[in-house]
Amino acid sequence: MSMQELKQKAWIYLENGTFLEANSFGANGTVVGEIVFNVSMSGYQEIMSDPSYAGQFVTFTAPEIGNVGVNAEDMESSAAHAKGMIVRKYQERYSNFRAEGSLADFLKEQNVMGICDIDTRYITKMLRTEGAMMMIASTEVSDKAELKKILETSPRIEDVNYIEQVSTKVSYKHTQSVYNDREFKYDEAPTPQANIVVLDFGVKTNILNELVAANIGVEVIPSSFDGDELVRRYNAKEIDGVFLSNGPGDPLVLKNEQREIKKLIDAKVPMFGICLGHQLLSIAHGYDTYKLKFGHHGGNQPVKNIKTGLVEITAQNHNYNVPENITEVAEVTHVNLFDNTIEGLKYNDAPIFSVQHHPESSPGPKESRYIFNEFLSLIKR
C-alpha cells in the first residue's frame, strides 16, 4: 500500500479562525490542544516523547520528518505525550541503521495524531506573530463551524493539570547513565558521591542519565510528594538534595507543589531545577511566572553564562518564564540572547539554583552538561 493510500484527510481549526485542510499519517480522531512550533532540525522522537509537550501540537520547522524512523532507545519517557505533530512532508520510507519502525506506526500505537502536507512555514510565521494558541484537529469532522464549537467548549491548556498525567505513580531508583554519548546500564550502580530525590513533574530520561553520570544517586518520586517528609529525610542525612524536573502546562496551576516546595526552601534543602522546576522555584519564592508569546522550543537557542561570559547553544522547551523582579532574591546566572529573558538563577539566601534551558539536550547541543556537576558540587558543600 502506498503512502498516499495510507493517508486520510484531516481538518484543522485554530482559535484565531484559521481553517486548514491537510492529510493525516498518525492516529485518527478529534483532538484539542495548544499549537507551538519547534525549530530543531532533528530529534523528532525525543520531542514527541518529552512529557513537557503534553497537551500540545508540535509544528516542526524541519521540512522532512520521518526519514530516520523510530527506535526504543531514543524515547525520553515511556510514551509519546504530545497531542500531535504537524509536518510539511512525512517520509514513510525511513533509512537508518538504528530504526526499528516507521514514525506513522509509532504514532498510531501511541494514539497520537500526525498531520502532514501542510504549509508549516505559514503556520510558524502566524504563531510567531500572533502567539501560541489553542487548536483542534480531526479526521472525523470537516465542518468548520462544528470544529469551532468543539474547540470553544474544550478546556484550555492552562486549565488542565497535566503533571497528574505524566508523573510516575510509584517511586523508583534510576541507575542508567551516559558515557561518551552512549547509554549504558550498570550491572551494579556505582557508589554515588551524593544521593538526591527527583521530583517527577514529567522528567526526561536523559536528565536522569546525566544526574547518574555526575555520580549522583537518583531516586524518582511522584509529584504528589510530602515536603515535610523530604525535610525529615534531609535532616536525617538520608538524602543530600532535591532535583525539580521539567514538565508540561502552566506552573501557576500547581498549587500543591508550590506549597510543598516552599517547605523545602524554608528548610534550606539544596535544590536544582530545570525548566518547570526552575519556574516552580520562582513561584514558591513569591514571584509568579508569565507566559511568553510563542515560547522557546528548539535546539539552537544562544544563552550567555554571566559568570564565564561564554555563550552556550542550548536546547529549550518552555512557554513560561520567571519575572525580572526575581533579582530581589536571586542572582541571574544565564540570559537568553534572543530576547534577554532569564535563563538561570542562583538564590541569595539558600543553596538553590535553576536553569530554564535543558542542559541534558536530547535532542540538542551538549554545551551545558557541566551544570549537573555543579549540582554535585553544591550538595557536597
Contacts of 54 (CB under 8 A, 6+ apart): 81, 82, 83, 162, 165, 166, 202, 248, 249
Given this model, what pLDDT does residue 1 score? 42
Q: Any idea which residue has 535532542 for its cell?
A: 363
What is the per-residue pLDDT across 35-52, written as a single tens digit (0 to 9) for each?
999 999 999 999 999 999
Catalytic residue among 34, 76, 312, 360: 360
pLDDT band per the 50, 70, 90 thresholds, residue 183: low
Active site residue 358: yes
Contacts of 296 (CB under 8 A, 6+ apart): 316, 317, 318, 336, 338, 357
Report the mean per-residue pLDDT for the chain.
94
Active site residue 73: no
Task: Identify the domain boundary among 159, 178, 204.
Answer: 159
Catalytic residue among 275, 285, 312, 357: 275
pLDDT band per the 50, 70, 90 thresholds, residue 6: low
Q: ∠ CA 50-101-92 to the nearest 5 degrees?
A: 95
User: Is 153's pLDDT higher than 50?
Assistant: yes
Q: Are strands 84-86 and 113-116 parallel, antiparallel or unpaired?
A: parallel
Q: Are residues 209 and 134 in the same domain?
A: no
What is the per-residue pLDDT across 66-101, written as a single tens digit (0 to 9) for each?
999 999 999 999 999 999 999 999 999 999 999 999
Could you give the CA distance from residue 376 to residue 359 in angstroms, rounded to a whole number? 15
Given this model, what pLDDT does residue 176 score? 87
Given this model, what pLDDT does residue 188 score? 54
Give the domain CATH number at 214.
3.40.50.880
Given this model, what pLDDT does residue 184 score? 53
User: How many structural domains does the chain have?
Assistant: 2
Range of the domain at 282: 163-380
Task: Identify the domain boundary among 159, 183, 205.
Answer: 159
What is the per-residue pLDDT across 243-271, written as a single tens digit (0 to 9) for each?
999 999 999 999 999 999 999 999 999 99
At residue 76, the 3 state secondary structure works out as coil
Catalytic residue among 81, 174, 278, 358: 358
Could you give the CA distance from residue 77 to residue 277 in angstroms, rounded to a whole number? 17
Active site residue 116: no
